[in-house]
């Protein structure tokens, strides 16, 4: 299955911009599979606002975002402990991508706090957030179709460049050295996600699952410490989802990453995540381990469509 890619002209927009609208590549129904959620028997009393004493990891506290009359996020709390894989789940329109956009400086929260270790991210520009080692993938593919897979990865590596534009224009020797290093790092990232063989192929025409991995490679090539994945399993086959789980764990271990992933694929979420936060209508309705969350009546209600 191949994916026709949007033509994107502005690399800055590519890296910094995110669309909040999903464009399904396959036209299939989207959403969580309630069966995958399981139905725990015990009630859960997971605290909504877990607080953290240290500065270890990501702590989102009472983040609120408005779009005109829409209250997209209403005092949302979330944590992601360092070195863990955390899941951010919830029905369509719950505010998951909006929260990612706040974390990466694309949207400005009206109020609240977003701390990554000891740094307050709220109020920062996207490039400043990236400078603190935070990287992401997008819900919709954002790749340059005519560039090769490796070039698409390199485009995302501006954070690790040290040479200035004058040196680049004059093609100074250290520029070529840096370019070689960056290409080597991109190649290493592509090898990690199993795409070494297609590194020199144009992105256009590659299967959808491959393109999702290109985004993953691009996100890790700049050697982030916090990686945000917006629906990495969307549109993947069963076997691709299993492979993705292995790759995400491998990347976490290899790059010593803290990972937050937004997903509708509950099978993957329940098996992969150490900790979950559930949003519904812009609010945090549950947090805890996958086992705790899946037996939480408010979560079951939200997914069964009762809502509020």
Ligand X SMILES: Nc1ncnc2c1ncn2[C@@H]1O[C@H](COP(=O)(O)OP(=O)(O)OP(=O)(O)O)[C@@H](O)[C@H]1O
Residues 283, 286: Cα–Cα separation, whole Å: 9
Q: Is 283 in the site for ligand X (CB under 6 A)?
A: no
Distance, C-alpha 145 to centroid of its chain: 21
Cβ pair 262, 278 in contact under 8 A: no
Separation of alpha carbons 226 and 255, rounded Å: 10
Give the range of 42-50, 77-85, 95-103, 114-122 binding ligand X by CB under 6 A. Answer: 95-103
Asked if residue 184 binds ligand X (CB under 6 A), the reply is no
Choose one: 40-48, 96-104, 171-179, 237-245; the region binding ligand X (CB under 6 A). 96-104
Q: Which residue has the tokens 């995302």?
A: 156
Q: How far is the CB of 274 from ligand X (least distance, A)?
A: 21
Exposure string (b/e) for 270-288, b if CB count within 10 Å is 16 or more? bebbebbbbbbbbbbbbbb
Q: List the single partner that 44 binds among ligand X, Mg ion, none, CB under 5 to 8 Å by kind.
A: none
> What sections of 144-207 are H helices per DSSP?
149-155, 165-169, 173-192
Which segment (87-95, 153-161, 283-291, 295-303) binds ligand X by CB under 6 A? 87-95
Residues 6+ apart with CB under 8 A from 68: none
Q: Which does 15 bind (CB under 5 to 8 A by kind): Mg ion, ligand X, none?
A: none
Q: Applying CB under 6 A, which part among 40-48, 89-97, 172-180, 205-213 lies near ligand X?
A: 89-97
Nearer to Mg ion, 96 or 218 (CB): 96
Residues from 47 through 76 that contact ligand X (CB under 6 A): 67, 70, 72
133 vs 282 by CB, closer to ligand X: 282
Token pair 């080597």 is found at 184
Contacts of 124 (CB under 8 A, 6+ apart): 105, 132
* Nearer to ligand X (CB atom), residue 86 or residue 187: 86
Rule CB under 5 A: is residue 97 a binding residue for Mg ion?
yes
Q: Which is nearer to ligand X, 43 or 68 (CB)?
A: 68
96 sits near ligand X (criterion: CB under 6 A):
yes
Q: How far apart (Å, rounded) are the C-alpha atoms in residues 260 and 49? A: 17
**Candidate list 22, 75, 81, 113; residue touching ligand X; CB under 6 A:** 22
Q: Tell me if 20 contacts ligand X by CB under 6 A.
A: yes
d(CA 18, CA 15): 8
Q: Please tell me whether residue 130 adopts helix, strand or coil conformation.
A: helix
Report the nearest approach of ligand X to the CB of residue 99 (Å).
7
Q: Which of 5, 37, 76, 94 binds ligand X (CB under 6 A)?
A: 94
**Contacts with ligand X, residue ranges (CB under 6 A):** 20, 22, 67, 70, 72, 90, 92-98, 139
């Amino acid at each position: 299955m191949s994916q026709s890619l949007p033509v994107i002209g502005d690399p800055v927009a590519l890296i910094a911009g995110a669309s909040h609208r999903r464009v399904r590549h396959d036209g299939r129904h989207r959403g969580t599979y309630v069966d995958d959620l399981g139905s725990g028997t015990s009630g859960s009393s997971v605290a909504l606002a877990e607080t953290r004493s240290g500065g270890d990891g990501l702590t989102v506290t009472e983040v609120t975002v408005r779009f005109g009359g829409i209250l997209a996020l209403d005092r949302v709390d979330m944590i992601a402990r360092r070195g863990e894989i955390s899941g951010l789940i919830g029905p369509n329109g719950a505010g998951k991508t909006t929260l990612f956009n706040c974390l990466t400086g694309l949207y400005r929260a009206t109020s609240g706090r977003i701390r990554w270790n000891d740094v307050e991210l709220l109020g920062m520009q996207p490039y400043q957030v990236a400078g603190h080692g935070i990287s992401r993938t997008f819900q919709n593919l954002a790749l340059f179709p005519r560039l090769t897979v490796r070039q698409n990865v390199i485009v995302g590596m501006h954070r690790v460049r040290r040479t200035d534009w004058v040196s680049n224009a004059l093609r100074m020797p250290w520029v070529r050295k840096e370019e070689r290093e960056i290409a080597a790092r991109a190649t290493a990232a592509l090898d990690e996600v199993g795409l070494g063989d297609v590194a020199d192929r144009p992105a256009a025409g590659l299967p959808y699952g491959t393109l999702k991995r290109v985004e993953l490679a691009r996100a890790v090539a700049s050697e982030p410490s916090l990686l945000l994945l917006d629906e990495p399993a969307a549109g993947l086959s069963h076997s691709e989802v299993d492979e993705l789980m292995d790759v995400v764990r491998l990347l976490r271990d290899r790059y010593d990453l803290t990972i937050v992933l937004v997903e509708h694929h509950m099978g993957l979420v329940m098996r992969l995540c150490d900790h979950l936060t559930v949003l519904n209508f812009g609010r945090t309705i549950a947090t805890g381990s996958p086992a705790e969350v899946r037996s939480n009546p408010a979560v079951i209600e939200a997914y069964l469509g009762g809502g509020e």
